[in-house]
Amino acid sequence: MYGEKKLMGRQEYLSATDKCLMNNYSISLLDSGYSDDEWLSRFGDLDIEDAVELYAEKYDLRRSDDRFY
């Protein structure tokens, strides 16, 4: 959905990561507490969805698109 890392430049990847975080967890990349360089160092070898899910799992985030009301 957001594209594969190997087909994107740095800014494209970070922008798509920000969008994925916002869509799934209602936080921005800035809200994550990682700088762009830190995010890329930690998760940059992963596809965007995988990176975001790994981050969310690490910090026990609940998806904002879950409907529980």
CA-closest candidate to residue 46, choices 4, 18, 11, 7 = 4
Q: Dump pLDDT digits (tens) for 31-40.
A: 999 999 999 9
| Domain parsing of the chain, residue ranges | 5-58
What residue has token string 């409907």? 67
Q: What is the pTM of this model?
A: 0.85
Residue 68 pLDDT exceeds 80: no
Q: Dump pLDDT digits (tens) for 46-65.
A: 999 999 999 999 999 999 87
pLDDT band at 6 (very low <50, low <70, confident <90, very high): low
